[in-house]
Amino acid sequence: MILEAKHIYKSYQNGVKNLPVLVDLNLDVPRGDIVTIMGPSGSGKSTLLNIIGTLDSADAGEIFINGKSIAVMSDDELARVRNAHLGFVFQFHHLLSEFTAWENVLLPTRLWRTKESKKERAEELFEYVGLIDRKDHFPSQLSGGERLRVAVLRALINNPDLVLADEPTGNLDVENARRLMDLFVQIRDDFNQAFVITTHNPDVAAIGNRRLILVNGGLKNAEDV
């Protein structure tokens, strides 16, 4: 199991009101799974991804990454685990505008200084998504779909076990959304990486081999709702 989230609780304090967002939520993600999570706006999808991505902490519950509880990790260790095992793709791609596509993809490797092997992998990845001739473009010189594909490469450069994608197709037209989903499935088939993808779009959700819905703070099988 790459990820286990057990009995996760999270609420936000809005003034005097306590807003429960995640309530005794459980999720297991084995290698090679594509898990899609639907849910209305405000249901807690981003909150959930941030918590399983260790970017935010739960009020209660446990997260295990590759069988190891993150509760016992130091900040340094957690940063290392995040960098080595998790990749992130967000709706707003968060590419750094002053860096080229190539540099953006190699950013997560800086931690250990970029090795030749990483540059070779980056080269392969750019080929893989058909963007090798765009690698020296700045984000402003790329289309929305191309920027997202670059963001996907950045998420993949350290060969993570699990890619977390928060409404990645939110800003894409149907054609580009389809292309991004095909890419996710192809990556899973080729590298056996796992994905957790949140989405509003039923067509995107359909690519999951496990399709879940976030309702009342918990996850249910989409087929049962």
The least CB distance from residue 46 to ligand ADP, in Å, is: 3
54 contact choice in ligand ADP, Mg ion, none (CB below 5 to 8 Å, kind-dependent): none
Check binding of 14 to ligand ADP (CB under 6 A): yes
- Cβ atoms within 10 A of the Cβ of 189, count? 10
Check binding of 53 to ligand ADP (CB under 6 A): no
User: Which of 1, 7, 12, 24 is close enough to bind ligand ADP by CB under 6 A?
Assistant: 12
The least CB distance from residue 167 to Mg ion, in Å, is: 6
CA distances from 126 to 50, 140, 148, 172 (A): 27, 18, 12, 20
Residue for token digits 């030749």? 116
Residues contacting residue 7 through CB under 8 Å, at least 6 positions apart: 24, 25, 26, 60, 61, 62
117 contact choice in Mg ion, ligand ADP, none (CB below 5 to 8 Å, kind-dependent): none
61 contact choice in Mg ion, ligand ADP, none (CB below 5 to 8 Å, kind-dependent): none
Chain residues 39-98 in contact with Mg ion, contact rule CB under 5 A: 45-46
Amino acid at 74: S
Check binding of 91 to ligand ADP (CB under 6 A): no
Q: Count the alpha carbons within 13 Å of 77 in the hemisphere toward its beta carbon.
A: 8
Q: Count the alpha carbons within 13 Å of 210 in the hemisphere toward its beta carbon.
A: 18
Query: How many residues belong to the site for ligand ADP (CB under 6 A)?
Result: 12
User: Which of 3, 25, 47, 93 is close enough to bind ligand ADP by CB under 6 A?
Assistant: 47
Q: Which residues pair with 64 in a beta bridge?
A: 4, 69
- Please tell me the distance from the alpha carbon of residue 109 to that of residue 92, in angstroms, as a whole number: 21
The least CB distance from residue 220 to ligand ADP, in Å, is: 15
Check binding of 21 to ligand ADP (CB under 6 A): yes
- Please tell me the distance from the alpha carbon of residue 145 to that of residue 92, in angstroms, as a whole number: 11
The least CB distance from residue 104 to ligand ADP, in Å, is: 24
Contact call for residues 89 and 155 (beta carbons, < 8 A)? yes
User: Which of 26, 30, 42, 96 is close enough to bind ligand ADP by CB under 6 A?
Assistant: 42
The least CB distance from residue 119 to ligand ADP, in Å, is: 35
